[in-house]
Structure 1
Amino acid sequence: MIVRILGEGQYDVPETALGRLNELDATLESAVEAGDDAAFSSALTELLDGVRTVGAEHPADSLDESDLILPPADATIDQVREMLNDDGLIPG
C-alpha cells in the first residue's frame, strides 16, 4: 500500500502494519473530535512516525497513485478535521 504524507513523500507500507496504524488513527480522530490540541499534536506525530517507521520510501521518480493520503506534520486540527471521513484517515 502506498501512503502519502503531504509535503513529504510516499511510503510503501505493508498491509500487516494497518492494524497498528488504525489504532494511531483512532487516537488522532478522538483528539480532533475532542478539540484537544495537545493530544492532537501528539497523535499526529505518532501516526506519521508510525508510517515512516514501518514504511519504506517510495521512489520519488515514480508516478504511482497513493492509496492513502495523510496530512503534513504541521497540519492544524481544523485541516485534519476536513480530511477525516467515517473511518478516520485510514479506512478499516
Structure 2
Amino acid sequence: MIVRIMGEGQWQLADAHFAELNKLDDELLEEMEGGDEAGFRHTLHALLDSVRELGTPLPDDSLEPSELILPAPDASLDQVRAMLGDEGLIPG
C-alpha cells in the first residue's frame, strides 16, 4: 500500500502493517470525538511516525496513486476532522 503524508511525501508499506495503523487511527478518532487535543496530537504523531518507520520512502519525483492520505504533522484537530470518513482516516 502507498501512503501519502501531506507536505512530506509517500511511503510504500506492506499490507501486514494495516492493522497496526488502523489501531492508531481508531485511537485518533476517539480522541477527536472527545476533544482531547493533547491525546490527538500525540496519536497523530505516533501514526505518522509508524508510517515513516515501517515504510520505505518513495523518491520525491515518484507520483504513485496513494491508497491512504494522512494529514501533515502540524494539522489542526479541525483540519483532520474535515478529512475523516465514517471509518476514520484509514478505512477498515
- Which TM-score applies when normalising by structure 2? 0.97
Name 2:37's counterpart in structure 1: 37
CA deviation vs aligned residue, 1:6-37 (integer Å, no higher than 9, x gap): 00000001100000000000011111111110
What RMSD in Å do the two structures reach over aligned CA positions?
A: 0.7
Name 1:52's counterpart in structure 2: 52
12-21 or 61-70, which deviates more: 61-70
Aligned residue runs from structure 1 range 65-80, under 5 A: 65-80=65-80
Q: How high is the sequence identity, in percent, across the aligned residues?
A: 53
1:91 pairs with 2:91: yes
- Which TM-score applies when normalising by structure 1? 0.97
Measured after TM superposition, the shift of residue 80 of structure 1 is 0.5
Q: Distance in 1 between matches of 2:19 and 2:56?
A: 17
| Corresponding residue SS for 2:87 | coil
CA deviation vs aligned residue, 1:21-70 (integer Å, no higher than 9, x gap): 00000011111111110100001010001111110001211121111100
Name 1:64's counterpart in structure 2: 64
Name 1:82's counterpart in structure 2: 82
The size of the alignment, in residue pairs, is: 92
Q: Distance in 2 between matches of 1:44 and 1:51?
A: 11
- Structure 1 stretches lacking a partner, 5+ long: none
Name 2:20's counterpart in structure 1: 20
5-14 or 58-67, which deviates more: 58-67
